[in-house]
Structures are given as C-alpha cells and as structure tokens.
Amino acid sequence: MPNTNIPVITIDGPTASGKGTVAHKVADRLGFHLLDSGALYRLTALSALRRGTDLRDEHALAKVAEHLTIRFHGGHVYLGTEEVSNAIREEEVGNTASKIAALPGVRQALYGLQLSFRQTPGLVADGRDMGTVIFPGAQLKVFLTASVEARAQRRYKQLIDKGFSANMDDLLADLQSRDARDTQRAVAPLMPAEGAHILDTSQMTADEAVEQVLAWYAHP
C-alpha cells in the first residue's frame, strides 16, 4: 500500500506552462523525488508508435502502458536500455500522448505506477490530474497556468535553443488544440483540483514561481 503520510506536492497545468521546470526545481530544493507523469504518457506513445500499435485500439494501448520497462536516472529517461529523453519530447510523440491520454484504459494502466513514486522523504508530481485523481490527498496542490501566447513564446525559445526549427503560428495552433483535448476529455480532464492554489506565471520567471510554491508549502 502506498504510504499516504509521505508528503506530496502536485503541480498541474497546461502544456508549456513551465510546470516541468518548476516541479524539478521545487523537488531539488526540498530533496524530494519527482514524478513527471507526462513522460509516462509520452513513453507509452513512443512505444506504441514504434511497435505500430493501432492508435484507436484502447486495449492494445493499455497493454503497452502496462508493460512499459522504464527508468528515470539523473534527469534521463530510458525505455528498456535505450535513452529516449529527446525522443519523447518530439512533437509527434507529444501529440500522440495527448490523444492516447484520453483513453480510460491507458490512464488506468498507469495508475499504480504513478502511486509507486510516493516515497520518502516526499514527492513533487507534475501533470494534468495529479491533484484531482492520482494524489487527491496531497499536502499542497498547485495549478500552474500562463496565457497561450506566453506558453507559445516559451516553447518557441526551447525549440530554437535546442537547434530545432519552429514556427510561432504553428506552435500557437498546436497548443490550442492540445489544450482543448486535455481540458475537454471525459476522463481526468485538466482542471484545478479542489483546494488548489492557482499560479499564473505569464509575467513570472520560473524561479519566482518556485519561491511561491515553496512559500505555500512552508505556510499552508
């Protein structure tokens, strides 16, 4: 049984809201473990794409999710023995992840795996449904958001910095359709959890957001 006394901070929010960076830094500062739940959906998507799994076959996709052999180590992600940290960040994988994440069978298959990340001394969990579904009893729940323009700017900069080409109009359209899919799906849609602190980071640096989350955690 997962130990519900182990502290959890959930950080949910839309694509490119900066929650990954903030979650990472908060976990570092507190010496907590980190669950990047989006990576689990991305790993499922990557594995399905590589196997040629029919992306409409919920049962087959749930099996892929259930049998993932994954490992997180030193900021790197492995699928089997292969390092896939960059591969899972590709746009096609992200879009496929968003589509298969709408399937209840896939979400169910990843449920137990996510709970298993709750280990001493604590966990920072980032995703879409960390506070609403996976860790509803979390000590602190944060809903991190930013305007779609601010998020597209950040994604643009990330891609250019990594040496990829990027187009602002395409990025905006892509974020809007991913937001729509993540917020309108029937199961575990993206929304603030009950009792969540809402943090709009449109005008904030990641470090300012980190300080705010740590302050909420220190003074509930």
Residue 160 · residue 166 · CB < 8 Å: yes
38 binds ligand DC (CB under 6 A): yes
Instruction: Give the alpha-carbon dihedral of 30, 14, 105, 43, to 10 degrees.
Output: -70
Judged by CB under 6 A, the number of residues near ligand DC is: 14
Return the number of other C-beta atoms located less than 10 Å from residue 47's C-beta: 22
Residue 53 · residue 83 · CB < 8 Å: no
Distance of alpha carbon 42 from alpha carbon 97, whole angstroms: 5
The residues, ordered by sequence, that sit 6+ positions from 173 with a Cβ below 8 Å of its Cβ are none
Tell me the per-residue interface mask from 12 to 31 with ligand DC, x by CB under 6 A, - otherwise.
---x----------------
Token pair for residue 28?
């570092």
Q: Name which position in 8, 24, 129, 150 contacts ligand DC (CB under 6 A).
A: 129
Which positions from 67 through 96 interact with ligand DC, judged by CB under 6 A?
94
Choice between 46 and 213, CB closer to ligand DC: 46
Least distance between ligand DC and beta carbon 218 (Å): 26
178 binds ligand DC (CB under 6 A): yes
Token pair for residue 162?
């990594």
Choice between 17 and 219, CB closer to ligand DC: 17
Least distance between ligand DC and beta carbon 219 (Å): 27
Distance of alpha carbon 53 from alpha carbon 43, whole angstroms: 13
127 binds ligand DC (CB under 6 A): yes
Name the residues that contact ligand DC, by CB under 6 A. Answer: 15, 37-38, 41-42, 94, 97-98, 101, 127-129, 178, 182
